[in-house]
Chains A and B, each alone.
Chain A
Amino acid sequence: MYPMNRRDFLKTAAGTGAAIFVHGCGIPIPDDKGLNASAAILRVGYDDSLMQTIEAGFELVPPPDVQGKRVLLKPNLVDLPRENKPIVTDASVIIAAAEAFRRRGAAEVIVGDGPALQRDAWQIADAMGLTPLLAQHALPFVDLSLADVRSLDNAGSNLGEPVLYYPEPLLNADIVVSMPKMKVHHWAGVTLAMKNMIGVLPGVVYGWPRNLVHLRDLNNAVLDVNLTRAPDYAIVDGVMGLDGDGPIRGDSVSVGVLIMGSNAPAVDATATRVMGLRPEMVPYLARAAGSLGPIGEASIEQRGETIASVRRPFHVLSHMIGLVA
């Protein structure tokens, strides 16, 4: 079946919102329109140094003021981890971030997600070892898919939906932190801080999975969700990533980094380059350039480690070969 031709790939896109990564499509270089941002790369493992490393990242690219505020950490808990595949944000990174925000004066820190591929968020939390850590650190966990919902006017015009429904815990948070796992995605190209925000759309409204976003093009959904309520900060768990057939069936990749910043497109572009891939070839990143943030290397001030020093090329499926740098 592989490599598939463009005609077959376009047919697949109808039901799944696949992006097109065919090499040599002549996609123009995105224009950041003068936008600039910073992103930090820090080396770390899943060990006791995580909180200090995140605090070091805060020094490099400060988060918004969290003093006295409510912070929602939104990790990627897409599905039950199986076969030891690193498909969810590591529990140790979530906990370290929570404690780091507490040390910066956050009045309340909540962990919340709405897993895409099954309803039982607690089963996933149990399986990944998050549940006992939540209890040890007195951190509330909320299934965003079952929370009360409220509609917001869709600030984007890409999905064709006038409103988007959001869970109240997210809307009531002062600061929202996107905490994705560093993964390739067989439809979107990569799944990082911006794509992670699709997970806030409640399953009780949109289903498990949120098929509306696939039918109307996943990239349109990523843009509209980020235009309507962008994350205030991003921490990418790139200690162990997933390549190949992401976001569920791929293979482990040891990268050994966190990537942090207050502008999601810039963080994602940086992470994409660390993965040895081209952010301008990820459709939602290319379209975000110049509006939601910069993605050009010249527009992003790299702090901490250099991209070249930590780059770890991710393998991709054959239809995604155009992503490879």
Chain B
Amino acid sequence: MGSSQLQTWSQTALEELIASCNSDGGWPHVSGQASNAEPTALALLALAAFDSASSAIPPAVAWLQQQQLADGAFGLSSTYAEASWVTPLAAMALARLGRDNDHAVSGAAAYLLAEDVFTLNPTPPTYGYDTGTPGWPWMPGVYSFVEPTALALIFLKQQGYTQHERVREGVACLAARVIPSGGWNYGEPVVLDASLYATVAPTAAALLALVGEQSELTATAADWLAGQRGTITSLYSLAWAAMAMNVLGRESWSDDVAALWNATSMTRRNPLDTALCLLAVAPREGHAFALTD
């Protein structure tokens, strides 16, 4: 696909994304549903990359700001405010969209640096990996898993906390959860002596979080992810993989993303996937998920 065709595709996708915005300014996971912080944050990041002057941005920012709690975390929506895992994404979106959000962003960072997470310390003998080094959980007070840890690391590193003790623990946590043969799954590489299977989206997220943490495990994981090309049939996983390949400076999967998006029916395509697809092909320079060190 030539650059003009890709530009045409991205314009089409952007128009569809903007059209799927709810009347309250936020975006839903699936059209017809209520606004939710995750798709809203990702839509804002996509708009920042492709149409930073879009009139859809201010009401979306206002909606997202309303989801921040007193302790600095972001909830999903008024229906469920307690989920902490969306905090990094929401804060990344606000950080990208102006200094007026500095207080909200610093509040989110402070929350994440102090968030309660369950660990098993010392690691019980039946586990095949370190369970005592904390990452970040899906909900406050529960166990660390790969995707919330990766998102927290990306955000905190972007905010200058790369050498913070909590961030170094998070990096160590991701390293401890790598599948022996390469890549990551949700966060348990081994259960009862059996190695589990790597999965695309967690591997992509972990690789984005570990940029700059040069090691054999990230190279192996990146090779595993590259090897999934041609096997992914779903927009969510493809977009994450393509985004990682893009930001890592490896081969471009933009044509794959555009082709699958075009081939996916509108009843299956959703705002979350479209936002991720746009981010997957966004310019590498200054990418929303890039780290500066």
Contacts and interface: CB of A to CB of B under 8 A. Distances in A.
B131 A15 contact: yes
Given A4-B126, A80-B199, A120-B201, A205 B83 contact: yes
Nearest to A5: B125
A149 B28 CA distance: 12
Residue of B30, B234, B270 ringed by the most chain A CB atoms within 10 A: B234
B193 A123 contact: no
Contacts of A211: 137-139, 142-143, 145
A208 to B, nearest CB: 6
B126 A118 contact: no
B72 interface: no
Interface stretch (A6-14, A23-31, A171-179): A6-14
A118 B236 CA distance: 11
Contact of A207 (B131, B137, B237): B137
Nearest to B39: A146
B201 A15 contact: no
Contacts of B270: 146
Contacts of B38: 204
Interface string B226-269: 00000011111100000000000000000000000000000010
Contacts of B200: 120, 123
Q: What does DSSP make chain B's interface, helix, strand, loop or mixed? A: loop
Interface in B183-213: 185-186, 191-194, 196-197, 199-202
Interface in A107-124: 117-120, 122-123
A33 interface: no
Contacts of A123: 200, 232-234, 236-237
A315 interface: no
A245 interface: yes
A143 B118 CA distance: 28
Contacts of B82: 205
B197 A12 contact: no
Residue of B76, B118, B126, B197 ringed by the most chain A CB atoms within 10 A: B126
B74 interface: no
B33 interface: yes
A149 B80 contact: yes
Interface of B: 28-30, 33-34, 36, 38, 76, 79-80, 82-83, 85, 118, 120, 124-127, 131, 137-139, 142-143, 145, 147-148, 185-186, 191-194, 196-197, 199-202, 232-237, 268, 270, 272
28 contacts: A1-B125, A1-B126, A1-B193, A9-B126, A79-B197, A117-B199, A119-B201, A120-B201, A120-B237, A122-B268, A123-B200, A146-B270, A146-B272, A147-B33, A148-B28, A148-B79, A204-B76, A204-B80, A205-B76, A205-B83, A207-B137, A208-B138, A211-B138, A211-B143, A212-B139, A245-B192, A245-B194, A248-B197
